[in-house]
Amino acid sequence: MYAYMDIMQRRDLEPYERKVFREQRLTLRKDWVVDLDAGARQVRMQGGATLSYDKLLLATGSRGRRAPWERDLEGVVRFVSLQDLDACERLTPGTRRAVVAGGGLIGVELVECLVHHRVPVTFLVREPSYWPAALSPEEGEMVAAHIRAQGVDLRLGTEVASMQGEGKVAGITTTAGEAIACQMVGVTIGVEPNVEWLRSVKTPPDLNRGVLTDPAFRTSLPDVFAAGDVAEVTGRIEPLWYAAKRQGEAVARSILGERMEYAPPAYYNSAKFFHLEWTCAGETKGPGRFRKLPGREASVRVIERDGIAVGFSMLGTRWNHRVLVKWVEQRLRVDEVIGRLSEAQYDVEFGKVAL
């Protein structure tokens, strides 16, 4: 996102300085793996070369989901990989209007980038409120109003019905029957584990939605591990940057022979909808207590069950997710956490708001 907005350089996207690989005696090889032979303990590269291994980690991440109305036309983009960034940057100068289909976090990030480049955007969201999978109707209304205030043509309850073009995108037709001419269509309807390539290798691991692993990240193949977005650890997939980093540290211990069982902490996430910050911890759905801060684009919501705080959704202000996660894991009562909200906030004023 920040590279697309010219805030960061491509090199700044790399997780470590390049000297780290040399200092840690790591060999960095840029290539595509196209086959896995667990019997021979080898992987084959796209160019034909093979690499032998003692232990192998599969960490191929996620890929953007394909839409049922999608066609293979120039101008159709996703916003997940570096290759997606290349496509977006190549198309931007010639794009007079873009359509982004799919709400949530990836969609709004792509929309923000296009607005930064002064590309008019029509943003289609299937649901009647913005991102109901995580936001309450009140929060969704606040986010939708904020997005529209940035000049975005946000359409709730609207989807793409069909796509037009010969070789290149020329436009789309919505489920409301409206034709919209455009030169770029962003498909941001979520991600899925990048496992399709593994289905055709010589010795595929057991697959479901992702690569199936036990709590120590071991796959069905000997000495082959999986972690990150691609891993389905005891039936659970965690498609988050925070989780991938945490799993990377854990799988390293498992590869080195340490006995361990991965137990993720309570769910947490943070993001921005343009200028509107959001932090959540624990559950985000269900009954609870909601309060909007008068005169500001800010709210706090505590999700409760039987008087226990089981989740938090904080919009428009900054919060320390570690404190919120700790309260969820400690199963504190709602009345207690409401009285202690100032301990978790970076905005002292907001802690004085009664719920």
Task: List, in order of start, the domains of the chain with CATH numbers.
Answer: 31-63+192-255 (3.50.50.60), 66-189 (3.50.50.60), 268-352 (3.30.390.30)
In percent, how much of the chain has pLDDT > 90? 88
Q: How far apart are CA 129 and CA 141, in angstroms?
A: 7
What residues in the chain have per-residue pLDDT under 50? Answer: 351
Q: Which residue has the tokens 């008019």?
A: 120
Distance CA 266, CA 269 (A): 10
Contact yes or no for 279/314 (Cβ under 8 A): yes
Residue type at 20?
V
Token code pair at residue 268: 């947490």
Enter the DSSP assignment of 319. Answer: B
Tokens of 98: 């873009």
In terms of Cβ atoms closer than 10 Å to its own Cβ (0-12, 13-18, 19+), residue 74 is middle
192, β-bridge pairs: 63
How confident is the model at residue 13, as a pLDDT? 87
Instruction: Supply the pLDDT for residue 349.
Output: 57
Q: Name the pTM for this structure.
A: 0.92
pLDDT on residue 295: 87
DSSP annotation string for 213-240: E-TT-B-SSTTEEE-GGGEEETTB---S
Helices (H), 200-240: none
Instruction: Map residue 218 onto helix, strand or coil.
Output: strand
What is the tens place of the pLDDT at every residue in 126-137?
999 999 999 999
Residue 95, phi then psi, degrees to nearest 5: -95, 115
